[in-house]
Structure 1
Amino acid sequence: MNELVERVDERDQVLGVVDRAEAISQGWLHRVATIVCRDEDGRFLVHRRPDDSSRFPGQYNWMLGGAADVGESYEEAAARELSEELGVHAAPRFVLKFLCAGVISPYWLALHEVVITASVRPNVQEVAWYDWLTEPALESLVRQQEFVPDARDAFDRYRDLSRTERPLS
């Protein structure tokens, strides 16, 4: 079945409903919600995508997430993706949003953050491996070629926020 998304403009205003594959092939903007997961010690969850993934197979990422469904807010999409990918039910907190040039196509990326206090149950179709890394260890991994390029841009923007602007939930 085709995945429908809202095509949006450079101000993130809805223009209409389109197939996500068409949005990507045409370079039309759409919405993607991502989640950064931290543990109670402040470490970041980092995962490797499965080798058979359609996008960025075998590459590392520090964000989970995906396209927002039609009529779904960024926050709703982030909570849904967190549940689908890690089996965690929580309300991620909005951190930042930016127009991401994207390696595959451009899109609006909304980054959220959540502190995970329960065990995670990764969906093997989304997460092949995961671990919790300190910020310096994550920063080192982000610079490696095997890291999802769009996630590198998001990390740089996240890191540049002052600590007072991104307190843990």
Structure 2
Amino acid sequence: MGELVERVDEQDRVLEVVERAEAVRRRWMHRIATTICRDPTGRILVLRRAKEHVRFPGHYDVLVGGAVGVGESYEDAAARELVEELSVGVPVRFLFRFLCRAGISPVWFGVHEALVAEPLAPDPSEIAWHAWVTEPELRKVVDRGPFVPAGRQALHRYLGCLLDGIAIRLGT
């Protein structure tokens, strides 16, 4: 049996437990927990997915994340994914969620923020390259080139929240 997720409705209410592959194939809504990482100077982590990655190989992204498991919270899944993909165990702070229809199937994205001061050890099966980038640098490139569509959408929302004063920068 494959990875199990909770199929959810338009209000993010659980309908049933299904295999993630089936949810993607049938375009059933499910949950994804993601994190935008910042370093102590405020730069944002940008990564390029491994060429062998199942979804959007070789594309750039600002989100570290994955499927929310059955009975798991967005926050717990986001923290777990940081350990799995970057080998860092740091607290995450929930910012917002949104129904994302860009990409492989409609999913509810729980977007978090984390302050990462420790060295990264990315999983090479997931991440081929990474760098810390300033917000102005990132704004110049996010709408160009091969960028994961959902990551682009989440980043625009995140940056909008910062401008609106909704999200409070970590470490200040």
| TM bin (shorter chain) | over 0.9
Q: Give the gaps of 5 or more residues in structure 2.
A: none
SS at 1:5 equivalent: strand
1:62 aligns with 62
RMSD: 1.0
Deviation at 1:168, TM superposition (A): 2.4
Deviations 1:3-46 (A, max 9, x none): 11000111111001001111111111000000000000000010
Instruction: Give the counterpart letter for 2:26 in structure 1.
Output: Q
CA distance in 2, matches of 1:116, 1:91: 9
1:16-55 equivalences under 5 Å are: 16-55=16-55
- For the 8 Å contact 1:67–1:77, the answer to whether it is kept is yes
Deviation at 1:102, TM superposition (A): 2.5
Runs (4+) off by over 3 Å: none
User: TM-score if structure 1 supplies the norm length?
Assistant: 0.97
CA distance in 2, matches of 1:162, 1:56: 27
1:97 aligns with 97
1:71-150 equivalences under 5 Å are: 71-150=71-150
2:159 aligns with 159
Residue identity over aligned pairs, in percent, reads 50
CA distance in 2, matches of 1:95, 1:27: 25
CA distance in 1, matches of 2:103, 2:36: 20
CA distance in 1, matches of 2:85, 2:71: 21
Instruction: Give the counterpart letter for 2:166 in structure 1.
Output: E
- For the 8 Å contact 2:162–2:168, the answer to whether it is kept is no
